Chain A
Amino acid sequence: MVRLLLARLGQSVVTLLIASVVIFVGVRLLPGDPALAMAGEEATPERVAAIRAELGLDDSLLVQYLHFLGQVLSGDLGESTRTGTPVTTLLGSTLPVTLWLSLYAIVVAVVVGIALGVVAERFRGRWPEWLANAAALTSLSVPNFWLGMLAILWLCIGLGLFPASGYVELGQDPLAWALHLTLPALVLGTGLAAVIMRQTRASMIEAMGSDYVRTARATGLPKGRVLLRYGLRNSLVVVVTIAGLQLGGLISGAVVTEQIFALPGFGKLTLDAVFTRDYPVIQAVVLVTTLGYVLVNLAVDVLYTVVNPRIRVGGRSS
């Protein structure tokens, strides 16, 4: 178990290194010149050249990369070429917003998805299943931004249940914080919820038709116990795998959702940085996203060994 984890950690480090190369080169392949963007349209070539020298853009790519890597490893992500603010400061203010939003969305998706999946299995061929299926298909087909706009229109402006935009720090006012995040989290989580619902339903149907469930019923166990401990527990093995693969989509979904609800998060930072060719910020943003991806996958792997005892004890047989 510990060995498995260490091996996965090692793989993650390699993944991050490769990612850093791709990020570094990718950013430099973007059309446009940061020196030109900083100097403005009217600048003289001398001024642009001076800025280039100042930013180290005249060095070879390898030197620039090693310089970049060294800085990252020492925790220095550089400064925004646009505002001069340290990138770490920018991340510090925006990352929590996105993390809270994603976490909230995951919780919503897992709770709603699994509950609807179980309901759909319990009432196969009857109206609750049709309803759950229809809901899943709808939320998979409707794009986030459209759902977000509808939600703002009806629930915020029409009914006034939630604030339409903005963000309040958790420490400042927990209730306002929750209210501001609820709608974005619901919008962001629906797609994932739909995937989880469909997977739960399919796995539940398989598990409930299995021999061990039949035997559990023959032993006279209470229905709820059979459904949850025998049916759902075994379905989770598949659900966790599929859900883990989908979590990446959540990060890109967050960019769009933050835009709609005007949340001062990571997504907004990313967009602004791309538009202004703010190399240090873009690099940092992509690097942090990659790190998030790797960590999520690591967490899924760990969770997978928890839900699947056959992996936990390494397939040792008696």
Chain B
Amino acid sequence: MQQAADPTTRSAPTGTPDGAPLLAVRGLEISYGARPVVHGVDLEVRRGERVAIVGQSGSGKSTLVAALLDLLPGAGRVTAGEVRLDGELLTGDGGARVRAARGRRIGLVPQDPATNLNPTMRIGEQVADALRADGVRGPALRRRVTELLAEAGIPDPERRARQYPHEFSGGMRQRVLIARALAREPELLVADEPTSALDVTVQRRILDHLQTLVEARGTALLLVTHDLGVAADRADRVVVMLEGRVVEQGAPEQVLRDPQHEYTRRLVAAAPGLSVRRRPAAAADRPAEEPAASAHAGRPAARGDDVVVVEELVKEFHVRGSRERVRAVDGVSFTVARGTTTALVGESGSGKTTVSRILLGLERATSGVALVEGTDLASCTRAERRVARRRVQPVFQDPYGSLDPTHTVERLVDEPLRVLRIGDAAARRRRVAELLDQVALPRDVLHRRPGELSGGQRQRVAIARALAPEPSVLLCDEAVSALDVLVQEQVLDLLGDLQRDLGVSCLFITHDLAVVRQIADNVVVLRRGRLEESGGVDDVFLAPRADYTRELLGAIPGAAVLS
């Protein structure tokens, strides 16, 4: 799989107006300490061109970009190769030439808007800092800051320039970072996963805006992303990286429709937004007369047998320091039929996590009904709750955060059994082994700790742990959002298999509509605590009724390229 000189690497489309590339990377090798991570990468970006680098985490794409600006962290350093900007050598020279080019000739839009602005400095000042580096002073400085913020799409820029980052939403912060990166009018803008931390509709607006700004200025764009869809939508050329090497590059349509390298093929196949692939044995594929059998719940499933019933659910929160109340969930109703998967979709602030916390009994509803197997976890007696807790089990987004790093896998999976006093020691040991088989983890992980596992393996442990008390419902809260697309596909397949084999129902909470298509039978779309639309997955995807649903669907990256 690691072909150094890959024969399938296509040459970029020719026909440059001015010959020499703006950015030319030749044979770049980068190591962290003694460990090489980027192996002889060649890369070119022409003036005004938009190039996307695609790869999963660990592919070396962010390292490559950091090296361009001499911002490699810790022990990272360039060991061979060269970087030229407009023919001028940037590498070597103790980094002096790169430092002179930073901001002025190469701008950087960083990944996470939450951490990339100085929290103790006003927004306007941070943009002004970039301009001051070019000697802009006085009233001209203030005028230009306001201009830049307005161009970046920040309303009321004069007032907002005096605010601090914590008073800005994630999308607005990213706009500030874009304004700042463009302030010195660089020839090349490097955007490192600029929208990965944002909601999908915000992502689309920001990328649209970025594209407009870059085109108006004729700035070249080097976009780094893990999302093949985003790359396809936004770039003139897509460069695919794997394990520190460029394995394929070409025009987006070419790479997506006719991927040459095996890895690219897998990436295209797995990208949820790009394929309309349905998992094979989904409950919806069964004839409607035969609802999923509920194997281990031990009762015959009747039509209309709903495991989860939510009716007119309302949850209000007090705002600290005022008498105001905020409705996080505002009259939401939906059901999850036994043996099926319902997806709860919404962006941040939609109330989807609050609904799940109420179902888990971690939060009490202000009014309305939230039943799991007919029991309301918040209002039932202690004895009932002990039984009811077994019936709904959560799988959370970050398997590293939700698994105690000091426990072994065996202890982690055994814990719910022990706490709920299910079986004796020998029975529990057998059950743990069985659970590991069910989530397709080898037995030898038993004595390892979460830190020694990969992200996908950790999520499998979290699923095994959730399955341990034989729940009727798995509550997956963004359970695959933190995983790379290939791993994400495997975990989704696993959830599908488990549903087929065990008949377990699933409430799948996600912001990612593309994943929903792959896994869910029914969809519930939430926005600001209210139900926008609900229905069968095909109905909602093919004939959305709510404008908001259409907006969400339209924002899925990559869909346009193939349609």
Contact = CB atoms under 8 A, between A and B. Distances in A.
Interface of A: 209-212, 214-222, 225, 229-230, 233-234, 237, 307-310, 313-318
Contacts of B3: none
A234 B118 CA distance: 8
Nearest to B177: A215
B102 A315 contact: no
A310 to B, nearest CB: 5
Interface stretch (B107-115, B144-152, B234-242, B262-270): B107-115
Contacts of B116: 211-212, 214-215
Given A211-B110, A313-B167, A217 B119 contact: no
Interface residues of B, number: 38
Contact of B169 (A229, A313, A318): A318
A230 B180 CA distance: 15
Contacts of B108: 215, 218-219
Q: Is the interface of A mostly helix, strand, loop or mixed?
A: helix
B133 A219 contact: yes
Interface of B: 69, 71, 73, 99-104, 107-108, 110-112, 115-121, 129-130, 133, 160, 163-164, 166-169, 172, 177, 180-181, 183-184, 321
Contact of A220 (B133, B163, B167): B133
Given A212-B115, A229-B121, A233-B120, A218 B110 contact: yes
A316 B315 CA distance: 21
B288 to A, nearest CB: 46
A65 B348 CA distance: 59
Given A225-B129, A309-B119, A214 B71 contact: yes
A310 B107 CA distance: 28
A237 B112 CA distance: 22
Given A211-B116, A212-B115, A219 B166 contact: no
A314 B163 CA distance: 13
Nearest to A210: B115
Contact of A317 (B107, B118, B167, B180): B167
Nearest to B100: A220
A310 B117 CA distance: 13
Nearest to A317: B167
B110 A310 contact: no
A217 B112 CA distance: 16
A212 B117 contact: yes
B121 A233 contact: yes
Contacts of A211: 110-112, 115-116
B118 A212 contact: yes
B102 A237 contact: no
A308 B107 CA distance: 29
A215 B127 CA distance: 12
Contacts of A217: 71, 102
Given A218-B107, A219-B183, A318-B168, 18 more contacts: A210-B115, A211-B115, A212-B116, A212-B119, A214-B71, A214-B116, A215-B110, A215-B117, A216-B118, A216-B129, A217-B102, A219-B103, A219-B108, A219-B184, A230-B118, A233-B118, A309-B119, A318-B160
A56 to B, nearest CB: 47
Nearest to A309: B164
Nearest to B127: A219
Given A210-B115, A211-B112, A216-B118, A221 B103 contact: yes
Q: Which of A209, A216, A315 has the most CB of B within 10 A?
A: A216
B115 A237 contact: no
Contacts of B117: 212, 215
Contacts of B183: 219
Contacts of B184: 219-220
A232 to B, nearest CB: 10
A233 B166 CA distance: 16
Q: Which of B99, B118, B160, B167 has the most CB of A within 10 A?
A: B118
B121 A218 contact: no
A317 B349 CA distance: 13
Contacts of B130: 219-221
Contacts of B71: 214, 217-218
Contacts of A313: 164, 166-167
A318 B172 contact: yes
Given A211-B110, A309-B120, A318 B129 contact: no
Contacts of B111: 211
Task: Give me the 3 closest cross-chain CB pairs, A-B, nearest first.
Answer: A220-B103, A218-B108, A211-B115
Contacts of B119: 212, 234, 309-310
A317 to B, nearest CB: 6
Q: Which of A209, A210, A219, A316 has the most CB of B within 10 A?
A: A219
B118 A318 contact: no
A230 B119 CA distance: 9
Contacts of A230: 118, 121
B121 A219 contact: no
20 contacts: A211-B110, A211-B115, A212-B116, A212-B119, A214-B71, A215-B108, A215-B116, A216-B118, A217-B71, A219-B130, A219-B183, A220-B184, A229-B121, A234-B118, A309-B119, A309-B166, A313-B166, A313-B167, A318-B163, A318-B168
A317 B321 contact: no
B324 to A, nearest CB: 12
A229 B69 CA distance: 21
A252 B123 CA distance: 43
A214 B116 CA distance: 8
A44 to B, nearest CB: 66
A32 B164 CA distance: 60
